[in-house]
Chains A and B, each alone.
Chain A
């Protein structure tokens, strides 16, 4: 088993996910299945294969340095669960 329940706990914490014991067991199994498949890939000889930075064969796509108006503030805040004084209002975390 490449991944333990403790590591799943850690990853869940980093992703801010609250998992029930049943979910934890289920995800540990699923993540292990994925990681075991990665092991299979790791068995391949990739000596002459360049690391892939991007799946598209594109390089150097730029935008010009020209400022344009963005969203009106009401629209920017329209999807926010809470807003106040023209700002996004969020639970205080520090």
Chain B
């Protein structure tokens, strides 16, 4: 039988506010353990949490960008559980009246566009970090509460995703939108963007859902995709051997490449949600929503469309360039100076991104500013350097931070377009390769390429290729 997967994602994103959600401690990442704490986030007796306005603002921005219906009235609830990552024994969250519901975003996988529903967006606080230490009597744990109380948004998708690749595309699209909104660093490796997946399988075409498991600890796009692939395969194998999938919470073990059971349905958590009496409700009026809507930046889909319509870029190029707001900004700045958008796009998607990735850099950290890339393209267009040399120059610019013209001058890379000088070299090459010349005259067109290569070699790649071709053909 053929099976299909049904996947929904719960994404947690840390908001990049200055202060925590309910107190004034800094949200700065890192820091010595327990140095970003106060009586409120430590849950000491007699304190009162007060919501940081910017948390609500960021929540609204996100909700609107995800096409959600914003609640006119919402409140905070206590989610009760005993685990030392929360000093209060409850997490401030939102239960039955979340900030927003009913949105969607669009993903494209293998050229097929799909709209993925978003169930809800709610605000809550992050928990602390535990380090487990082995030792006698079962060992102990050390707790750092610096992260406790950092604002989070939880964004829950509908079970609309049908494959690990779609789940990954959803997660990447969501990250792109959050980056455009500038509400989070979205660093999966630092835990500012995290993901849990609900997954079940069913016979293809079936309308009912199978029993689902929840997979936790997906700390990268790769883990998300691998864990889902593994878990789907595991569930299908159980069904095919006549078994039943047990409802459970699983964790992904990145090193072993397997999911394992953390707890089963019998041990399911009972969070006993109730309204937090320490926090008063929020009323969000139409004027507030409108103000936030007006302040929304151009979002990835709109920007992608603009690149296609204004510059005539292929959809693929526009998609790659707008996948990062910084990259799209970089592109815009180069095109402003060098208006051949397709050439700019080819360079950015090719050598520029390759060199950035090799240096593990973000576009805004590029040692080559947009003005210098535009200058390099200009040098190539003027014929001062060849395309091949331009690639070398870009590498040198990345390595040294020097400008395009400076590198070309220092390294003596100016293209040789002097016809007399090239004619001499062309004639030497022809004289040295009589066999190849004979081949060409007998109809082997490829022989020309070899001869061009020899001229390039003799000039260290600096010969003007168009001129070399003409000079060779005139003599053959």
A-B complex: 6 closest residue pairs judged by Cβ atoms: A70-B38, A87-B142, A65-B54, A62-B53, A67-B26, A88-B143
Interface hits, B131-157 → A, CB 8 Å: 131-133, 138-145
CB distance from A6 to the nearest CB of B (A): 14
**Interchain CA distance A65-B20 in the complex, whole Å:** 8
**Interchain CA distance A89-B284 in the complex, whole Å:** 42
Asked if B277 and A71 make an inter-chain contact with CB atoms under 8 angstroms apart, the answer reads no
Could you give 16 example pairs across A and B, Cβ below 8 Å?
A: A14-B80, A53-B281, A55-B277, A60-B280, A61-B50, A65-B53, A67-B19, A67-B26, A68-B19, A70-B37, A73-B37, A76-B34, A84-B140, A89-B143, A92-B132, A94-B132
Which residue of A has the minimal Cβ distance to B81? A14
Interface status of B282 (Cβ within 8 A of chain A): yes
Interface hits, A15-59 → B, CB 8 Å: 16, 53-56, 58-59
Cβ–Cβ < 8 Å partners of A85 in chain B: 33, 142
Using known A-B contacts A67-B25, A71-B42, determine if residue A92 contacts B140 with beta carbons closer than 8 Å: yes
Q: A65-B54, A88-B84 are in contact. List 15 more A-B contacts (CB 8 A).
A: A53-B97, A59-B281, A60-B282, A62-B56, A63-B19, A67-B19, A67-B25, A73-B32, A73-B33, A84-B140, A85-B142, A89-B141, A91-B140, A92-B139, A93-B84
User: Which secondary structure dominates where chain B touches chain A?
Assistant: loop
User: Which secondary structure dominates where chain A touches chain B?
Assistant: loop
Chain A residues engaging chain B, CB cutoff 8 angstroms: 10, 14, 16, 53-56, 58-68, 70-71, 73, 76-77, 79, 82, 84-94
CB distance from B62 to the nearest CB of A (A): 16
Cβ–Cβ < 8 Å partners of A61 in chain B: 50-51, 280
Interface hits, B24-50 → A, CB 8 Å: 24-28, 32-39, 41-42, 44, 50
Interface status of B283 (Cβ within 8 A of chain A): yes
Which residue of A has the minimal Cβ distance to B80? A14
Asked if A92 and B141 make an inter-chain contact with CB atoms under 8 angstroms apart, the answer reads yes
Which residue of A has the minimal Cβ distance to B39? A71
Asked if B34 and A68 make an inter-chain contact with CB atoms under 8 angstroms apart, the answer reads no
CB distance from A67 to the nearest CB of B (A): 4
Cβ–Cβ < 8 Å partners of B32 in chain A: 73, 86
**Interchain CA distance A55-B39 in the complex, whole Å:** 25
CB distance from A26 to the nearest CB of B (A): 22
Interface status of B70 (Cβ within 8 A of chain A): no
Cβ–Cβ < 8 Å partners of A93 in chain B: 83-84, 141
Using known A-B contacts A14-B272, A60-B283, determine if residue A77 contacts B25 with beta carbons closer than 8 Å: no
Interface status of B118 (Cβ within 8 A of chain A): no
**Interchain CA distance A68-B33 in the complex, whole Å:** 17
**Interchain CA distance A49-B383 in the complex, whole Å:** 80
